[in-house]
Structure 1
Amino acid sequence: MFNPRRALVMAAAAVALALTSLPALAADIPPADTVVTSPNVSHVLNIPKPAPIAGTINTDIAFQGDYAYVGNYGGFSIYDISNPKKARPVSSVVCPGSQMDVSVYGDLLFTAVDSSRSDDSCNSTALTADHKEAWEGVRIFDVSDKANPKYIKSVETNCGSHTLTLVPGKGRDRNKNVYIYVSSYNPNATFPDCLPPHDKLSIIKVPLRNPTAAAVAATPVVFPDGGNETQPGLLLPTSGCHDITAYAEKDIAAGACMGDGVLFDISDRLNPKVTARTTDPNFAFWHSATFSNDARKVVFTDELGGGGGATCNEATGPNRGADAIYDISNGQFTFKSYFKIPRYQADSENCVAHNGSLIPVKGRDIMVQAWYMGGLSVWDFTDAANPKEIGYFERGPRSAGGGGGIWSAYYYNGYIYAADFHEGLDVVKVTDPLTNNARHVRTDRLNVQTQESYRNW
């Protein structure tokens, strides 16, 4: 999703989409605010947003041990999920700055800030990016005490940090450092810290024994000759990456880079190299990526309309605002098909392909994915040319009006956790012959943009 300084672009795209869309059939739209699911999906629990950040929207989620860390435009909250049926908030930190994407590693929580602030503190106020003193970047918190997280370090980065990706060190470096790949974009000649052409990543090196020494260690250029800038229908021309998913144990990463899909070799953590690149005439904005467990496939998402449009309707069709599934063979992309939720949404409902994760089923490629007001979808792309939905969870249009929906939906140790803009944290369970084997797979950490293989099937 875009941050406030890009709101004008979002609004124009949403208006354009609204003018061309047709109403979905009323009989297909759930009643306002009503939860509906497929027969194989159950709603286990809803936890409203804690009071300190109830007025701002939820975003991304990270997991470690018995805890979930939920980002929010106003800060973040930590939840005890040791018993998913009785999950509860432990603490909330008020520290405004969208989007607050989160990743956790040991006692450290990394949060992304891509809205200009008066300074790096949690007491900062909004400030336009044309001020040299404006701050954007990454904040680091010590979360060893879950009830009392401590803010320990900030690192400013060019054009802020729209999203971030944690990449562990390798070899002898693995227990010494982690690296944060910072994705940012949309430079402007009036922004002193975000000048054109940008087209790069900022890589923060974090010494694990001394995290307060974290600093930008490299700023490799992804598109030295420029990215996809002229394709008709692009939301914005390529000027960097929106999101990167790293598969560190395989030394690869997939970049969703505005107008381009990119494959990186990250064997040198400070010097990622582009090894493959693709575009798609149906894609308006390459948003995020998910590898299959064997890394022979990758799913890219298209954030058509910037997240503000009603794009899950008959007028938009099945191929725009969809996921694109690619085989990866000999280091190159081969397009196989599109996937989009088969349920039309009302024209009042912003709906877009958004954040999801694999459900670890041996021998199959299945993931759960958020679709904003389209809810969440569980779908199978084992046959990359013929993906299909297995189950779903969604709410009807908001009686309060306006947009919303599920930003992130991730599978962790037997349950699906979904961060809803307004409704808080939902706990969902899928019970289906195609997914039931995943119940036996456990992991002790999940940062979805830092994929790790599921080995203990």
Structure 2
Amino acid sequence: MTLSQDPRTRRRRLGVAAAAAGLLAALLTTAPASATPDPGDSPAAGQRVSQSEAAEVRGAIADGEIPGQDEIVHSANIEHLTNVPKDALPGYNTDLAFQGRYAYAGNYDGFRIFDISNPKAPRTVAQVLCPGSQNDVSVSGNLLFLSTDSSRSDNSCASTTQPATEKSSWEGMKIFDISDKANPKYVAAVETACGSHTHTLVPERRDVYIYVSSYSPSATFPDCQPPHDGISVIKVPRKAPEKAAVVGFPVLFPGEGPDGGGNPGAPTNPGVSKTTGCHDLTVLPSKDLAAGACMGDGILFSIKDPEHPKVIDRVQDNVNFAFWHSATFNQRADKVVFTDELGGGGAATCNAAIGPDRGADGIYDITGRGDHRKLVFRSYYKIPRYQADTENCVAHNGSLIPVKGRDLMVQAWYQGGISVWDFTDSAHPHEIAYFERGPLTTDTLQVAGSWSAYYYNGYIYSNDISKGFDVLKLHDRRTDSARRVHLPELNVQTQPEYFD
């Protein structure tokens, strides 16, 4: 079905029952405890919705206003090539990285390596069992990096969950040698304060720097003490990765008091997360720039000296943004797209109760030069289809589509599916393609859907939390030229220079 024919863009009732039940009030007055659910080693149980909400979901399906349970729908310009279901790793699927003909897919239970030389038939090369939330993954040369953001009994892949209140508990970065793709070898581990929720590579010739994002300290956590107002910087010698170590903890939010100088959150700013660290950072090495999504704050900073990043500008949105989740530069580095993960990724926020400006993307222009550059808000973007109250849906991970002279992006929205959109005019973004599945269930809100959707060498790859690994292809004159751009490696949070 084409976008113009999609009846769901005209629906305005979905979510009304949720508002009546108090969901909207709860989302507006409380900050998410974490950016994504952390079920430990196994998926969390679903939350049963009210009878009226379940009836509304079934009615919307019967009326053809949303897809049927698990039904796949998409715009005419996207082709779904294949799906590879989860196999030996039953946990939530998470982030993706790419290198040559390989895709690396994170999972709460470890990671999986696919041979994608034939995108229509990806082949599993290896599955590595190494439990630890959320196993954010990236690659550089012969090294693979894996984030651990759940308190473990030790740094091995045989560890078990253990309270963060115990000093012996471990969280941080794991490093693997992937010279032999079929047999990755675990070579090093580096403990970091408050663990590693996500990480970002700043690759240099001799070394790799890793910016580690983590948050939510507590006076009761020996290895995660407040104020946790910065990021951990790890230096990894390429020729001796076993010598990887933390080389600094730059403070990004200086301030007096036990909480540092970030957004104070509630009660000062109701519904906004208190800033106690960063969720995700994106770097643009060719421009020595980085953008940080840091809970209650968005920041722009210089990475000319990778061990000592310098904040250039900082913005807040205390009206519509609850949790600054991730950031993406456009190709000219004169815009940044920030995402708001309202509800922590586990709530139904793509409905009439929440509206178009919350749980959305915020598009900011970068004005000025050098250390005087500023982030200037232009608009919000949110998918134009309402989702059911049993579908967790909110802005999540995406990447640029390399089309010269245009700002195009593909993005995951959990059970909202995958959206391809144009923000060339930063004040008037619009969708040009989409792919989604219908609700996983009609009576229970379960965490599912696309965690990450990235464009790599002519195809869109999506790691669906519950359904597995999807491959899609765009057929659109606006994106056709991107097929000529081929990269040897892609870690989306380390943005490449697509064009000179």
- Shorter chain as denominator, the TM-score bin is over 0.9
Q: Distance in 2 between matches of 1:2 and 1:415?
A: 26
Query: What is the CA distance between 1:5 and its match in structure 2?
Result: 8.0
1:190 maps to which of 202, 217, 220: 220
| Aligned amino acid, residue 292 of structure 2 | G
Would the alpha carbon gap of residues 15 and 294 (structure 1) be closer, same or farther in structure 2, given more than 3 Å must change? farther
Partner of 1:200: 230
Query: What is the CA distance between 1:234 and its match in structure 2?
Result: 3.5
How do residues 267-286 of structure 1 correspond to structure 2 at under 5 angstroms? 267-280=304-317, 281-286=319-324
1:390 maps to which of 426, 432, 435: 432
Partner of 1:409: 453
Give the TM-score of the pair, scaled to structure 1: 0.94
Would the alpha carbon gap of residues 271 and 344 (structure 1) be closer, same or farther in structure 2, given more than 3 Å must change? same
Q: Distance in 2 between matches of 1:135 and 1:371?
A: 31
| Aligned amino acid, residue 184 of structure 1 | S
| Aligned amino acid, residue 283 of structure 2 | A
2:480 maps to which of 408, 414, 436: 436
**Contact 1:235/1:306 (<8 A) preserved:** no
Q: Deviations over 1:127-164 (max 9, x none)?
A: 11001000000000001101000000000000000000
Please state whether the residue corresponding to 1:353 is helix, strand or coil: coil
Give the TM-score of the pair, scaled to structure 2: 0.86
Query: What is the CA distance between 1:4 and its match in structure 2?
Result: 2.7
Mapped pair 1:116 → 2:158: no
Please state whether the residue corresponding to 1:306 is helix, strand or coil: helix
Q: Deviations over 1:379-404 (max 9, x none)?
A: 00001000000000000011495220
Show structure 1 runs of 5+ residues with no match: 170-174
Q: Distance in 1 between matches of 2:289 and 2:271?
A: 26
Q: Distance in 1 between matches of 2:407 and 2:51?
A: 34
Q: Distance in 2 between matches of 1:365 and 1:214?
A: 37
Partner of 1:211: 241
2:207 maps to which of 153, 177, 201: 177
Mapped pair 1:232 → 2:269: yes
**Contact 1:199/1:222 (<8 A) preserved:** yes
| Aligned amino acid, residue 123 of structure 1 | A
Partner of 1:143: 178
1:345 maps to which of 387, 395, 398: 387
Show structure 2 runs of 5+ residues with no match: 1-34, 256-260
Q: Distance in 1 between matches of 2:342 and 2:459?
A: 28
**Contact 1:102/1:112 (<8 A) preserved:** yes
Q: Distance in 1 between matches of 2:220 and 2:392?
A: 31
Q: Distance in 2 between matches of 1:268 and 1:21?
A: 54
Partner of 2:344: 306
Query: What is the CA distance between 1:2 and its match in structure 2?
Result: 2.7
Please state whether the residue corresponding to 1:240 is helix, strand or coil: coil
Would the alpha carbon gap of residues 233 and 36 (structure 1) be closer, same or farther in structure 2, given more than 3 Å must change? farther
**Contact 1:18/1:309 (<8 A) preserved:** no
**Contact 2:147/2:174 (<8 A) preserved:** yes
Partner of 1:332: 374
Mapped pair 1:370 → 2:416: no
Mapped pair 1:28 → 2:70: no
Q: Distance in 1 between matches of 2:271 and 2:159?
A: 34
Structure 1 range deviating more: 227-236 or 184-193 = 227-236
Would the alpha carbon gap of residues 61 and 250 (structure 1) be closer, same or farther in structure 2, given more than 3 Å must change? same
Structure 1 range deviating more: 233-242 or 291-300 = 233-242
| Aligned amino acid, residue 229 of structure 1 | P
Percent pairwise identity: 60
Query: What is the CA distance between 1:453 and its match in structure 2?
Result: 1.2
Q: Distance in 1 between matches of 2:285 and 2:76?
A: 37
Partner of 2:30: none
Partner of 1:49: 86
| Aligned amino acid, residue 191 of structure 2 | E
Query: What is the CA distance between 1:29 and its match in structure 2?
Result: 1.2
Partner of 1:68: 103
Larger Rg: 2
1:104 maps to which of 139, 143, 147: 139
Q: Deviations over 1:405-455 (max 9, x none)?
A: 000000000000000011110001111111111111111110000011102
Q: Distance in 2 between matches of 1:199 and 1:455?
A: 35
RMSD of Structure 2 on Structure 1 (CA)? 2.2
Partner of 1:172: none
Q: Distance in 1 between matches of 2:329 and 2:210?
A: 19
Q: Deviations over 1:216-256 (max 9, x none)?
A: 00111111111011353435300110000011111110000
Q: Distance in 2 between matches of 1:155 and 1:44?
A: 39
| Aligned amino acid, residue 180 of structure 1 | I
Q: Distance in 2 between matches of 1:76 and 1:274?
A: 33
**Contact 2:330/2:400 (<8 A) preserved:** yes
Q: Deviations over 1:314-352 (max 9, x none)?
A: 111000110000000111011110000000000000001
**Contact 1:116/1:126 (<8 A) preserved:** yes
2:252 maps to which of 222, 231, 234: 222
**Contact 2:393/2:414 (<8 A) preserved:** yes
Query: What is the CA distance between 1:185 and its match in structure 2?
Result: 0.4
2:330 maps to which of 292, 298, 308: 292
Query: What is the CA distance between 1:261 and its match in structure 2?
Result: 0.3
Q: Distance in 1 between matches of 2:293 and 2:477?
A: 32
Please state whether the residue corresponding to 1:4 is helix, strand or coil: coil
Query: What is the CA distance between 1:285 and its match in structure 2?
Result: 0.0
Query: What is the CA distance between 1:23 and its match in structure 2?
Result: 5.1
**Contact 1:99/1:162 (<8 A) preserved:** yes
